[in-house]
Amino acid sequence: MEILKSLDQSSIVRSYVVLEYRTFQFGFFIKIKAALIDGSELHIKEYSDETERNYSYHWQSDAGVLITRWDNAPHYSNLSTFPHHKHQEGKILPSEEILLEDVLEHLRERLHA
């Protein structure tokens, strides 16, 4: 599975645990908690089937404070990247990071790893 492969290969992921994993005929649902090298955590949820893909990547400090959350819930149709967006510093912003690989690269740059 690409999600687990990305986590295994990332230089910023210290460890992770799969909290939930379900497969069905044409898709899957996965929920993961990843510990990052700076003590922060990345909470990953992804659902995919033959017609849709829903995701949420929630990055929080070691104290549990939201740093950034990327998701594609269709709430902000005014954004150029609708439905993809991120929640950061109390703002809703356009987001080009729509895959876990993109988010991990962004975090790697932020953590200077």
pLDDT tens string 2-61:
999 999 999 999 999 999 999 999 999 999 999 999 999 999 999 999 999 999 999 999
Place of tokens 């893909």: 53
CA dihedral (75, 44, 98, 112) positive or negative = positive
pTM above threshold 0.85: yes
Query: Residue 66 pLDDT more than 90?
Result: yes
Residue 113: the pLDDT is 61
Q: Is the separation of the CB atoms in 86 and 93 below 8 Å?
A: yes
Read off the pLDDT band of 1 (50, 70, 90): confident
Q: What is the mean pLDDT of residues 84-88?
A: 97
